[in-house]
Chains A and B, each alone.
Chain A
Amino acid sequence: MRFTLLAVLLSTLHLPASASYIYPSSPDPVNQKHIDLFRANIAKYKSPQFLAFPASTMAMPCEVPPEKLYPLIGLGMALKETKAEIDKQGAKLMRKMGMDMESDHTYSDIRIEPLRAQCVNGKLDGEAEFLVSHSAKMMTKTRVDMLGEATDMTSTMSTKNVSRYQLQLKEGELAGESIVVQLVDAVNTVEYSSPAVKKMMASAPKLPPSKSLMVLMNNSQGHMTTFNEVPSVKVTKGLFMAGVDTGVALQTTLTIPVAPGYVRSLVFMDKDLLGSSGYKNGKPHGEHILYSDNIYKTLGQKLDRQVGMENVKEVVINGKDMLETRNCFINGEQVKVATCPAS
């Protein structure tokens, strides 16, 4: 399931031929090993050969039905029953959050080639490696007010995905360490039902096609580390107006088990902490803290004059002016309390 969810993670940036990343330090030694492993192998992961289908491939060593195989290789949502259940849960969550959006996610052109795999008693067992490619289309539709009339807006993200899964399996289930390297080519389009809005938006800048690399490493005890190359955006105060500097950064997410059923997720942009969030049995629980650049200070504006800043305060971290936002969750629900529970 985690591979299914991660299969739709995207960032948007062209891959440079070589990138000099800045890495965070992990408070947990298992995640630190992941960081060291990524650092040692990034050149290999980015090489074209790593995600290329070989000229000749081996056959699956035994019959593995899609409902057993697909969840192992990030294709759980391609299963009708899994998709129906996730769509139902998703719709319930959107309803409770007051969000009104139709969405659909479809898969096509699925190709799965084992590079290494063996079966014991009719089930995949031991070390296995798969190359997987597929196309996906995620469509969301909503209605907006524009130019004084209602118009339906349909956003579509079309992707071509190639992934390499290095797994350790026991009796057909994940066990031990696994590594996933995924390259995604994405194209985004937006359609409007109103001819007037369509005409107005025709000249608006479009999102360019993107290519992004994601690497995920985890063990079966709850430690997980993901690496995403993302655009970095910094707001600067120009002479006449605010400016924006763009570059490339490495977003690293560490998932660290803290107590039975409870994990903490730390997100870093290069070596700077972006956020810290708790999850109990998969649901947000405890304090969720976010950090961002204090653009208001950069632009000479006061925080208390902005809307919705009741949970935000100005802090200085390693000499940088930052904004810290704190929200509290209890068993998946955001709450307002004087003291947020620790776990």
Chain B
Amino acid sequence: MKRILAAALLAYGAQAQCLDIKNPYRFTCRQGDCVNGEGTVFDGYLSISMSGAWRNGETIPGVTYKLSSARVPGARMEQVYGADGLLASGDMPRPKAVGTKMAMFRGKYVGIEHPFLKVKIPVPSTAVYDTGFGVEYRGRFEFLPAKSGIHTTVSSGYFIFFGEKVDTVDGETETGLYVSGETLLGMPVGFMKAEPSYLIEMQKRYQRDMQIAQSDFAEIESDQKWRSALAVVGQVAFAMASGGTSLSSSMKNVAGEMVMGMVGDMLNKDPKSVDVRASAQRAAKAATEDQAMSDALAMAINEGISTSKKSQ
């Protein structure tokens, strides 16, 4: 039986950052025991397999994991994770590409907060970026998160590099500052030579994005609360419909009152301040003092909240 993995993200990103990721649409256990033992996990997003020892479906700090790719069978990659569940050292492949080459970072990684995704992610610090085509960027890396991840839920950002760009085929070396365009999780990084003054432009854009993001966060939070509220409404309606003709019309009226009371709360207050469960319970209490009806409504509220949490 396939097990769902909690961790085993091969590159930084989104819900990723390690540990509590149980995404059956992304990870599958292909061989062995991927929960408490030796096993091989397949990451369907990156199309990479990862073999090693697992504990509670998570990576074990200090253990070396071996990675492989069907598209580039000759690529030998290894990773070591830290106690925080983030990639600490080794290879960070960029497999979302076509062709027979694998681009990757090799080196050490640090954890940073992605302020738009509100998660911690590993990014290269002192490392080599190997394009897979004989061009290597050897030196120091920084990462500037990008805002689009708020809506795509996929981590993205800009890489900044200072050091040597070495063309191992032509034997050419250049030292300087390079930056990338916005790069999504798992995609190869395209570096372009940059002037230091360009970093000021990047910083200004980042600050603008942070300001815009505040209203995006408010919108997302409001969306989530509405989803919860509507899930409660749906559950109450379902409960009423399941009761059939045995339900008295007064019970149906009570349910209607409760629902409108809760929706009124959502419409008239700042969504940030609304606690959907408390609002629904208040509305239910105001709608009826009958214990049986109250119990039925309380059950519907709990089911609705639970359903909406599972879908988020």
| Closest-CB distance, A313 to chain B (whole angstroms) | 12
- Is the Cβ of B194 less than 8 Å from the Cβ of A304? no
Task: Give the docked Cα–Cα distance between A311 and B169 (Å).
Answer: 32
User: B131 an interface residue at 8 Å Cβ cutoff?
Assistant: yes
CB of A95 within 8 A of CB of B133, answer: yes
Interface centre among B101, B167, B169, B181 (most CB of A within 10 A): B181
State which of A143, A304, A308 has its C-beta within 8 Å of the C-beta of B100: A143
How distant is B287 from chain A, measured CB to nearest CB, in Å? 37
* Contact-size category for B: 35 or more
Residues of chain B lying within 8 A (CB to CB) of residue A101 = 98-99
Complex CA–CA separation, A304 to B213 (angstroms): 10
Contacting residues, chain B, for A148 (C-beta < 8 A) = 42, 44, 47, 70
A304 touches B147 (CB 8 A): yes
Given A142-B99, A307-B152, A307-B184, decide whether A337 and B197 contact each other with a Cβ distance below 8 A: yes
Quick one: which of B103, B148, B169, B184 has the most chain A CB within 10 A?
Answer: B148
A337 to chain B, nearest CB (A): 5
Q: Which residues of A contact B44 (CB under 8 A)?
A: 148
Tell me, rounded to whole Å, the shortest Cβ–Cβ distance linking B189 to chain A. Answer: 9
B195 cross-chain contacts in A, Cβ below 8 A? 335-338
Which B205-225 residues sit within 8 Å CB-CB of chain A? 205, 209, 212, 216
Q: At the interface, yes or no: A100 with Cβ under 8 Å from chain B? A: yes
Cross-chain contact of A336 among B95, B97, B184, B193 (Cβ < 8 A): B193
Q: Which residues of B contact A336 (CB under 8 A)?
A: 179, 192-195, 198
CA A329 – CA B201 in complex, angstroms?
Answer: 17
Chain A residues, Cβ within 8 Å of B99: 99-101, 142-143
Contact, CB under 8 Å: A142 / B98: yes
- B300 smallest CB distance to A (angstroms): 32
> Is A27 close to B, CB under 8 A?
no
Interface string of B50-74 (1 = CB under 8 A from A): 0000000000000000000111010
List, in ascending order, chain B residues with CB within 8 A of A144's CB: 71, 98
Q: Does A109 contact B (CB under 8 A)?
A: no
CB distance from A184 to the nearest CB of B (A): 27
Question: Per a CB cutoff under 8 Å, which of A307, A311, A334, A338 touches B200?
Answer: A338
Residues on A with C-beta less than 8 A from B70 are 145, 148-150
Q: Judge whether A333 and B193 touch: CB under 8 Å.
A: yes
Establish whether residues A98 and B47, one from each chain, have CB atoms under 8 Å apart when the complex forms.
no
Q: Does A245 contact B (CB under 8 A)?
A: no
User: Which residues on the A side are within 8 Å of B158 (C-beta)?
Assistant: 310
What residues on B are CB-neighbors of A97 within 8 Å?
190
The answer to whether B192 touches A335 (Cβ under 8 A) is yes
A206 in contact (CB, < 8 A): no
**What's the minimum C-beta distance from A333 to chain B, rounded to whole angstroms?**
6
Chain B residue at smallest Cβ distance from A306:
B148
A149 to B42, CA, bound (A): 11
Contacts of A307 in B (CB 8 A): 146, 148, 152, 156, 182, 184
Residue B135 at the A interface, CB < 8 A? yes
Interface members, chain A 73-105 (any B CB < 8 Å) = 95-101
Residue contact A100 to B71, C-beta cutoff 8 Å: no
The A30-58 residues at the B interface (CB cut-off 8 A) are none
Answer whether residue B188 sits at the interface, using C-beta atoms and an 8 A cutoff: yes
- Chain A residue at minimal CB-CB distance from B151: A305
B148/A305 in contact, CB under 8 A: yes
- Distance A101 CA – B167 CA, assembled complex (angstroms): 19
Cβ contact of B103, chosen from A98, A153, A333, cutoff 8 A: A98
A338→B202 CA distance, assembly (Å): 10
Q: Identify which of A98, A144, A306, A334 gathers the most chain B CB atoms within 10 Å of its CB.
A: A98
8 A–B contact pairs at CB < 8 A?
A101-B99, A142-B98, A148-B47, A150-B73, A305-B216, A306-B148, A309-B148, A336-B198
A-B pairs, top 3 by smallest CB distance, nearest first, are A100-B99, A336-B194, A150-B71
